[in-house]
Chain A
């Protein structure tokens, strides 16, 4: 047995056997799909503003709701996970990805009942996003407050 496969070298050696991810192609796919989701979001906002006469500010909440609802529906139909495999971060980062993480957990744990199954596990994946979102908002808020107060 040569050095190649001794335990200490193994992790380095196996890199030659693992198929390389195509970073450029993956980035391009993520950019296009993520961008398209944003374009759809903009179109929905325009619809609320131009057709239903919402103000630009008023249109934000119904737009997000529409996107979340659509993503939840696509998760239920078994489409969003396939989109996720194709687009990676492109479909994970927008609010639709957040909706997918919640809906998929709810679907998965439905068999354990509404309280201990669905409700307990709803934020299994999304929980960390919320925790770090709140913490980041708090830290930034404190910095902004301090800045405004002293300068």
Chain B
């Protein structure tokens, strides 16, 4: 128990997900998982004056929905772990300011969702906190400005591009029993296979997802058969077949159980290029639909591998390649809660 193999953690005590909250923008609300979100906005501004405030509103909504469902007050929380995609993680910082909960800010690009959840669970396991809230957010327009061009700029994007999910997901964990348990986690290594195209993050992140999933199986002595679902964060329609083929070459056939949150969140006819991306992509899918499916018994055990391209526009302009990381968390259904 505790550390398993090189980079996996099997939590000594039983850590449970007590509540989760999600908030999304218009395109996500119109997608196939629209029904599973707690709060949806019909307009990208989310009734705010600018994009950054809109993203902050989404994270506030997600955290509040999570707290409301847990029936707990924020003063009872020991720790708030959060991150987003903007410089200095401003969304998380400003939400933390309002919450007044002791705060650890985290950045792992789009892998932050599982990074915060895995870290939070380990801190509870270690006895440093009893109740933790983990949250992440991303917003299509703030991400466009941060990483690409002004929102209304008419530059043409290639088909390999991904579409940043507008939304936020929050989750509350503690040792208090519920029917969904956080069982284990695998912390990823930074992988860089030398891709340089910021409009093809799926290819950049696939090796990181492959490495984390493969090491998870080896560390834990498990195989794809042990899971009802292995969900990667935002590999899109480009990275998804790459990671499947890479794993297949190592003898892990995940085809039957693998899906990608970036492909689940939108209908195939929505204008999102090769699929969804962003911190919120894995967060709102996991904390919405996947938790629902675990609770209902559709799944018994799932592995969520949030993938993050650690991309900086400055580094890309300096001709550096794009490093990527992936963190996995095992969620399982527990009877008799």
Cβ of B112 under 8 Å from chain A: no
On whether A108 and B150 interact (CB within 8 A), knowing A1-B250, A11-B194, A14-B242, the answer reads: yes
The smallest beta-carbon distance between A32 and chain B, in angstroms, is 15
Q: How far is the CA of A51 from the CA of B1 in the complex (A)?
A: 85
- Contact in complex: A83, B154 (CB < 8 Å): yes
Consensus secondary structure, chain A interface = helix
Kindly list chain B residues whose C-beta atoms are within 8 Å of the C-beta of A125.
149-150, 153
One digit per residue, 1 when the CB lies within 8 angstroms of any chain B CB and 0 when it does not, for chain A 86-101 equals 0111011000010011
- Contact in complex: B154, A84 (CB < 8 Å): yes
One digit per residue, 1 when the CB lies within 8 angstroms of any chain A CB and 0 when it does not, for chain B 109-127 equals 0000000000000000000
Choose one: A2, A85, A88; the contact of B249 (CB below 8 Å): A2
The smallest beta-carbon distance between A78 and chain B, in angstroms, is 6
Choose one: A10, A19, A81, A105; the contact of B154 (CB below 8 Å): A81
- Contact in complex: B153, A84 (CB < 8 Å): yes
Cβ of B307 under 8 Å from chain A: no
Cβ of A111 under 8 Å from chain B: yes
Cβ of B203 under 8 Å from chain A: yes
The smallest beta-carbon distance between B75 and chain A, in angstroms, is 33
Consensus secondary structure, chain B interface = loop
Choose one: A10, A11, A83, A111; the contact of B50 (CB below 8 Å): A111
Q: How far is the CA of A110 from the CA of B49 in the complex (A)?
A: 10
Cβ of A17 under 8 Å from chain B: yes
Cβ of A107 under 8 Å from chain B: yes
Q: Which of B150, B151, B245 has the most CB of A within 10 A?
A: B150
On whether A100 and B152 interact (CB within 8 A), knowing A5-B245, A19-B160, the answer reads: yes
The smallest beta-carbon distance between A86 and chain B, in angstroms, is 8
Query: What is the interface residue range for chain B against chain A?
Result: 35 or more
Cβ of B238 under 8 Å from chain A: yes
- Contact in complex: A7, B193 (CB < 8 Å): yes
Q: How far is the CA of A87 from the CA of B207 in the complex (A)?
A: 33
Q: How far is the CA of A100 from the CA of B145 in the complex (A)?
A: 15
Q: How far is the CA of A5 from the CA of B241 in the complex (A)?
A: 13
- Contact in complex: A104, B153 (CB < 8 Å): yes
Kindly list chain A residues whose C-beta atoms are within 8 Å of the C-beta of B154.
75, 80-85, 91-92, 97, 100-101, 104
One digit per residue, 1 when the CB lies within 8 angstroms of any chain B CB and 0 when it does not, for chain A 118-136 equals 0000001100000000000
The smallest beta-carbon distance between B237 and chain A, in angstroms, is 8
For chain B, residues 278 to 326, give those with C-beta under 8 angstroms from any C-beta of chain A.
none
The smallest beta-carbon distance between A127 and chain B, in angstroms, is 13
Kindly list chain B residues whose C-beta atoms are within 8 Å of the C-beta of A101.
153-154
On whether A18 and B151 interact (CB within 8 A), knowing A5-B249, A111-B50, the answer reads: no
Choose one: B152, B155, B203; the contact of A78 (CB below 8 Å): B152
Cβ of B195 under 8 Å from chain A: yes
- Contact in complex: A18, B193 (CB < 8 Å): no
Kindly list chain A residues whose C-beta atoms are within 8 Å of the C-beta of B246.
1, 5
- Contact in complex: B242, A85 (CB < 8 Å): no
On whether A75 and B152 interact (CB within 8 A), knowing A5-B249, A17-B238, the answer reads: yes
Q: Which of B155, B158, B246, B250 has the most CB of A within 10 A?
A: B155
On whether A105 and B194 interact (CB within 8 A), knowing A17-B241, A85-B156, the answer reads: no
- Closest-by-CB residue of A relative to B202 is A17
Kindly list chain B residues whose C-beta atoms are within 8 Å of the C-beta of A17.
203, 238-239, 241-242
Kindly list chain B residues whose C-beta atoms are within 8 Å of the C-beta of A81.
151-155
- Closest-by-CB residue of B relative to A29 is B156
Kindly list chain A residues whose C-beta atoms are within 8 Å of the C-beta of B250.
1
- Can you give 15 A-B contacts (C-beta < 8 A)? A1-B246, A10-B194, A10-B195, A17-B239, A17-B241, A18-B200, A19-B160, A19-B238, A81-B154, A83-B154, A84-B155, A108-B145, A111-B50, A111-B52, A125-B150
> Which residues does A use to contact B, with CB under 8 Å?
1-2, 4-5, 7, 10-11, 14, 17-19, 21, 75-76, 78, 80-85, 87-89, 91-92, 97, 100-101, 103-105, 107-111, 124-125
7 shortest A-B CB distances, which residue pairs?
A: A84-B154, A108-B150, A111-B50, A104-B152, A104-B150, A88-B156, A104-B153
> Which residues does B use to contact A, with CB under 8 Å?
49-52, 145, 149-160, 193-195, 200, 203, 206-207, 210, 237-239, 241-242, 245-246, 249-250, 274
